[in-house]
Amino acid sequence: METFMKKAMEDWCVDLEKKRKKEKEKLNVLLEELDVSEDDENETDTFESYQKMNWESEVLLYELDQLENKEI
For residue 44, the model assigns a pLDDT of 64
**Strand blocks (E) in 1-72:** none
What is the DSSP secondary structure assignment for residue 35, as one 8-state letter? H
Q: How far apart are CA 46 and CA 20, in angstroms?
A: 39
Nearest to 48 by CA among 36, 60, 37, 56: 56
For residue 11, the model assigns a pLDDT of 72
pLDDT along the chain (72 residues), means of 10: 73 75 85 69 74 88 86 68
Q: How far apart are CA 49 and CA 37, in angstroms?
A: 18
Q: What would you report as the CA-atom Rg of the chain, rounded to the nearest whole angstrom?
A: 31
